[in-house]
Chains A and B, each alone.
Chain A
């Protein structure tokens, strides 16, 4: 999130419950204010932020907390050991490491007794104030370790910029203000963290790389190589948590037999028995998680949910704000921070024999699969913020290789599972048919060409597929609403149920469609367009389709 993004988010936010917050740092905090407000707005909260006057952190620790105000202390090494402040230069005398750590302990003890305080620690480089390099490194590491022991959220060291600190007294690098603001709001809006007890993980592109319903057991990655590497490490981490009494569960938008296949294969680090439950359905993950916590008799604030998909995370955090949502990293380099964050959320774990058997105890408590009838969150506000752009292409002439590939590799959102050859598509087009595709872009970048639809000259849709990468973004509804308004809108769809196309079966439950039995399904295009105009409005539509 850059400055202008943050400004826009705050300007467009219509308001929500107040989050009264003291952001306590010794340096200049004002530039952080906008980013904290934007991060709060993204969580539906109106931040009422208070900052300390410059260089008054130590004094503030001697004053009682204001009732009803959450406190987040953004600490740097020199807040723990004042002689380490770059702005004062390097101390004339070398520092005693033991005395430095005693100073750190005194500061952290003062924060620990404050009723609502949380700590964010920025392990900025420290000046060469100790006798030698080994002592220097030991002292820097020990300060971070002391902060971590006090429950601090540890930022990456590159969140600090000496240039910015010299220029303005602001210790947070401008590039890190968005993530730091987010961490501050997350800590301030969470209930005072009790150690979590249940980790619920997504499966596709989280527990393993790839999409099981598309790639099959042999096509996904979980081993210590290639695309599966970070998922392998994640699984080994979950295995350790489980061994220490943390309960594991999984939720996935899949059918149960498809989702369980890799876990039952016996080839992965984790297997089905490591989980108290694996919930697989196409219903909202918030509903699955809520029901699972109820059955396990756990409060929702004891639940950590890990998913790679920001839309799923938003859906859960919107409906279940008590659940701690963690994004699985999209790149290997993001893994250490995520595992460290998860480790922190599960706190210090004292091992007992019961801990080691806890999964089995809870498995016995659960009976059958979790019912998932509840509705998910209305994500329109979140989706609008993604600033999605749908580019519609007419592939009736020219290159159609990606469209044919998409039709032949997509299993879940697939009208009928029918595979087609390029020649067959060519013949349909030669007889007056039309082939449409769509490319999706949003503020994070391009998702590529993710949709294809083939309509015969007689107005029958014979192929309609959407990549599972962009589920939950209403793309299928927006495209269909657009198509419904075109002169070549299909009058029916050549539908067939398959073992894997449940997402399409759910799509067909829309009242604008006739009964979804195998064969031609009729479509009231006018009604569909009317009832899905709000989905269409989520997108900036770019049509590269001849009129």
Chain B
């Protein structure tokens, strides 16, 4: 069974199409070229679908890095 961290990294890799060898944990909007507004929508949807959580509009705007997203899920007890 994959850990939350592994699943989250897999989602970031898949949605942001990160190159092999890159570290998803360093991804951040504004620094990761593929993290545009549409990718952000897909990223939020993928996280909601895979972790069974709901991300409100306000939260969505603040989830601008891998670390912030990981912390958000941790706060939800995921």
The chain A residues found within 8 Å of chain B, CB to CB, are 2-4, 7, 28, 30-31, 34, 161, 163-164, 166-170, 173-175, 177-178
Q: Is the CB of B57 within 8 A of A167?
A: yes
Q: Is the beta-carbon distance between B14 and A168 smaller than 8 angstroms?
A: no
**Which residues of B sit under 8 angstroms from A178, Cβ to Cβ?**
49
Q: Are B41 and A168 touching (Cβ within 8 A)? A: yes
Which B46-72 residues have C-beta < 8 A from chain A? 46-50, 52, 54-57, 59-61
Interface-central residue, A4, A167, A169, by most chain B CB under 10 Å: A167
Residue numbers in A under 8 Å from B47 (CB-CB): 174
Find chain B residues with CB under 8 A from A31 CB. 41-42, 45-46
For B55, what are the chain A residues with a Cβ–Cβ distance below 8 Å? Answer: 163-164, 167
Counting chain A CB atoms within 10 Å of each CB, the highest count among B11, B15, B48, B50 belongs to B48
Smallest Cβ-Cβ distance to A29: which chain B residue: B41
Which residue of the partner chain, among A166, A174, A175, contacts B57 with CB atoms under 8 Å?
A166
Secondary structure call for the A interface? helix
CA distance A182 to B59 in the complex (A): 29
CB–CB B60/A167 < 8 A = yes
The yes or no answer to B1 lying at the interface (CB within 8 A) is no
What are 18 A-B interface contacts by the 8 Å CB criterion?
A3-B49, A4-B7, A7-B14, A30-B41, A30-B42, A31-B45, A163-B55, A164-B54, A167-B41, A167-B44, A167-B59, A167-B60, A169-B41, A174-B44, A174-B46, A174-B54, A175-B48, A178-B49
Which B residues contact A (CB, under 8 angstroms)? 7, 10-11, 14-15, 38, 40-42, 44-50, 52, 54-57, 59-61
Shortest Cβ distance from residue B4 to the other chain A in the assembled complex, whole angstroms: 13
Complex: A542 Cα to B4 Cα, angstroms: 25
* Complex Cα spacing A30 to B37, Å: 11
Structural contact, A3 and B11, CB atoms closer than 8 A: yes
Q: Nearest chain-B residue to A5 (Cβ)?
A: B50
Asked if A164 and B48 sit within 8 Å, CB to CB, the answer is yes
In addition to A31-B42, A168-B40, A168-B45, 14 A-B residue pairs with Cβ atoms within 8 Å of each other are A3-B11, A3-B45, A4-B10, A4-B46, A30-B41, A31-B41, A31-B46, A161-B48, A163-B55, A167-B44, A167-B56, A168-B60, A170-B41, A175-B48
